[in-house]
Amino acid sequence: MIKLPKKLEAEEIIEIKDKNSFSSHRIPENRFRLFDPETNRSWGYVVVDHTGRGPGLGGVRMTQDISIQEVSRLAYIMTHKNAAANLPLGGAKAGLIANPEWFHGNPNLKKKLIKLYADVLFPINSYIPAPD
């Protein structure tokens, strides 16, 4: 049985791009790591790729092996998906590090994790979680 943290916190991941670099790699507007402040264990990531059309809209992926790179790629795809649908929204995505098997037979555990997740997301004004 997995032990959930008492609370989660978000810290922004700052990446500085070398101005002399020839790389065309785009850096998302905001990236956050969600972590347990008692153990420093990472529980997920939120990436806001682009907000030129409005706040970033994107779903939440829950899997045990999600990475910041995968969430960043998915947020980038959401930017283009929302623009193609002509929505007044940018692109974003979130990923929770959790094995869905933890919740079989224990739906309250999943509810507790989602509540922790929602509490930490509330202050991130540029992100709108959506069904995935």
What dihedral do alpha carbons 107, 113, 118, 120 form, nearest 10°? Answer: 170
Of the candidates 17, 93, 110, 115, the residue annotated as catalytic is 93
As to burial, measured by CB atoms within 10 angstroms (0-12 exposed, 13-18 middle, 19+ buried), residue 102 is: middle
Let me know if 93 is a catalytic residue.
yes
Helix (H) or strand (E) holding 10, with range, is strand 9-12
Q: Which residues are catalytic?
A: 93
